Structure formats: structure tokens, C-alpha cells
Amino acid sequence: MVNYFVFLGAAMAMVLGTGQLIRPKNGSRNLLSAGLLYCLGLVHLITFSQREGYFFEQPFLVTIQIPLFTLLGPLFYLYFMRILNPPFTATRKHLIHFIPTVITFIILIPYQSLPMAEKKITQLDYLSGKTILWETFPNNLVVLIFTSTLIYILLPLKTIIPLFKRKLLLENPTMLIALGFIFCFSITLLCIIFFQFYESPLLEDGVAIFFTLWIIAMYLASQKYPEFLMTITDNISYAKYQKSQLSNINTDTTLDQLQKLMHDQKIYLDEDLTLPALAKKLSLTTHQLSEILNHNLNSSFKNYIKKYRIEEAKRLLIEEPTQTILTISMDVGFRSASTFNSSFKKETGLSPMEYRKSYALKSPAH
């Protein structure tokens, strides 16, 4: 029963990873999350093959695990640091983190080039405790790889743990849920690393089951809150302030410029609008803009933009009665109709359709 639960977790990770790849206007964040989910899915799939006995029939699986773990650490680090430390962005220079993956593939070429029969012999020697495989792939290097993966996982944890103490975050339940997901995910990865050195049936079952439950919960949360992880990015800059960033900024002038961007240019209609992009237009840092929004407008970036989008949607619902709800939601900058509907109802107390009908009933023509 547990084995099939493991397979379910692997399959869902692959499906979610594919979902990230096919999302429109794919950015580095989507690519990183897709790579991370694929990597975890493969690790979980290998765990399933070990439990079912397929592992011993497929010698190439022995050496796949090591390159996967060289990918797991950097992907985890780059993805979550982009969320936890805005405006951090993965660029080409960060490809240096994946050099160990290339090196491990090169080191393993002699083993992978062996005929199938010799691979099986080498595999059996390795599994029986002999060192033939490790003569090809040095044991010390394996320890170094797993140690570096641990460091990659622990670095974001250093950022996550202090955030739970911030009052601003404690007042935002969605952020707490998102941080909880990341924290639990980190602990699961640490257990997976630990299991590579200390085999324990209880730990193996626990990690396998917990990972699958995490994937299921992640899927359900992403359906209800499509961008729930990004609520951290929207608010975290202000939570990390130690002192004001606005000593040399004319706040009144900046607010005037911001209002022109919103009212005249309607920049909020761009579904790809981000805090860094808006800050750049105002010649501010993300920290400065976030502080202005929080201190002067009592709003986070996400809520500030959402309010303008809802107001524009209210206007279109009345003035464009032939337009569908989906079309209007896309026109005002929402990525999905479900997010638009939930945001609209939270703001107005009515669904978009109910709002349109209520206006029609009040119209003199009716």
C-alpha cells in the first residue's frame, strides 16, 4: 500500500512540474520550480523502484541518484531564495551551481558505457558492499555532494525561521501557510538526505508518505490560491526592514508618479507586473517602494494592484455587458478566472456575475 502511495507522489510531482513548464510567459521561476518538481519526482520514482525490486533489474538507476542530488540542492536554493529574498533573480551566472552535475555525469561515463551484463555485476558488487563502483565514483565525492546539498537546503531555512517571529507575517495567514509549506518541504528533504546514510524502514516509510501528502496539499493549495507562495515575495521586503529606506526620497512626489502610472497609464492591467518592475519605473528599490506602500498607503504591493484591477473590472462589468467574465478577468490583469472571482467577491461581497446582475436590476430600463 505504501509503495503505491510513493508512486502517486512521484507521478503528481511530474504532473505539477509539467504544469509549471506549460504556464504562459514562462519565466525563470517557473523553470526552477519545474526542474525541482521533476528532480523530486525522479528521486521518489527511484525509491518506488527500490521498494518494488525494479531497482536491481535496471543497473543504470544506481548512478542516477547521485547526479539528481547534485541538481536537487541548487534548484531548491535558487527557487526559494527568489521567493524569500526579493529581488533575487536566477541568471546565467547561477549556472555555476550546476557544474557538479556535469562533473558527476563525466565521472560516471565509464560505468554507463559498460555492457549491460557488466553493469549488473558492478551493481551487485556495489550493493553487496564492495567498492568497484566507488572506484569509478569516489566515496569521498559522494559525501561531499550530499553535504553540499544539505548546505543548499539549510541556507533558505536560515531566512525562513526568523520570519515566523515577524509581526507583519503573523498577521497574514496565507503567508504563514506558505512559509509552513516551505519549512515542511525543507525538513522532508533533510530526511531524504539523512536516509542516504542511515537506512531505517520507519524513516523510509515516513518520508515517502509525508512527501506524497505534501505534494497533494501543495496541489490543493495552488488551486485555491494560485500564487500563494508569491504572497511572501510581495510582503517580505518590508518585514526584513531594519531601518527606513526613504531618507533621500521625496515621498509625495513618488506617490504622485505612482498615481499617474495607475490612473493614466493603467499599468496594473499588465498581468506580469511585479514589485521590482514597478519600482524600476519609479527609480526606487523594491525595499523603498514596499515601504511607501506599507507606510503611506497601508497596503502590500499585491493588494494595492489587486484593488485597481477590481475597480477596473467593476467598470467593465457594467459598461461592457456583452463581455464574458473570463475575458474581463484577463483584461484587467488576472491570470485565472478562479483567482479573479475569489478576489472580486472578497472585495465587494458579490461574485462578478452577481455584481453585474445587481446593477442591471437597479438600471432604469428594468
pLDDT in tens, the chain (366 residues): 677 778 888 888 888 888 878 876 556 677 888 888 888 888 878 777 777 766 666 666 666 777 887 888 888 888 877 777 766 677 788 888 888 888 877 877 777 777 767 766 666 565 554 544 444 455 566 667 777 777 887 777 776 666 665 555 555 666 666 677 777 777 777 776 666 556 666 766 777 777 788 778 777 776 666 665 666 666 555 555 444 456 677 888 888 999 999 998 999 999 889 888 898 899 888 878 888 888 788 888 888 999 999 999 999 999 888 889 999 999 999 988 888 998 899 888 899 999 888 876 665 554
189 secondary structure, DSSP code:
H
Residue 335: the pLDDT is 85
Residue 200: the pLDDT is 67
Residue 125: the pLDDT is 60
Handedness of CA 108, 114, 118, 120 (dihedral sign): positive
CA distance readout (Å), 311 to 126, 191, 268, 344: 65, 47, 11, 9
Instruction: Yes or no: say if 239 and 175 are a contact pair by the CB < 8 Å rule.
Output: no
Instruction: Yes or no: say if 277 and 242 are a contact pair by the CB < 8 Å rule.
Output: no
Q: Please state the length of the chain.
A: 366
For the chain, report the end-to-end CA distance as a whole number of angstroms. Answer: 61
Alpha carbons 90 and 34: distance in angstroms, whole number: 14
Alpha carbons 291 and 286: distance in angstroms, whole number: 8
Alpha carbons 180 and 185: distance in angstroms, whole number: 8
Residue 330: the pLDDT is 92
Instruction: Yes or no: say if 301 and 293 are a contact pair by the CB < 8 Å rule.
Output: yes
Residue 346: the pLDDT is 87
114 secondary structure, DSSP code:
S
Residue 131: the pLDDT is 44
Residue 268: the pLDDT is 92
Alpha carbons 361 and 365: distance in angstroms, whole number: 8
Q: Which of 81, 76, 2 is nearest to 39 (CA)?
A: 76
CA distance readout (Å), 41 to 16, 38, 87: 10, 5, 28
| Domains located in the chain, CATH noted | 2-233 (1.20.1070), 237-362 (1.10.10.60)
State whether residue 225 is helix, strand or coil.
coil
Instruction: Yes or no: say if 333 and 305 are a contact pair by the CB < 8 Å rule.
Output: yes
Alpha carbons 323 and 345: distance in angstroms, whole number: 19
298: left (phi over 0), alpha (psi -120 to 50) or beta: left
Residue 161: the pLDDT is 67
Angle between helices 60-84 and 99-107 (to 10 degrees): 180
pTM higher than 0.75, yes or no? no
CA distance readout (Å), 190 to 13, 66, 203, 214: 18, 16, 12, 14
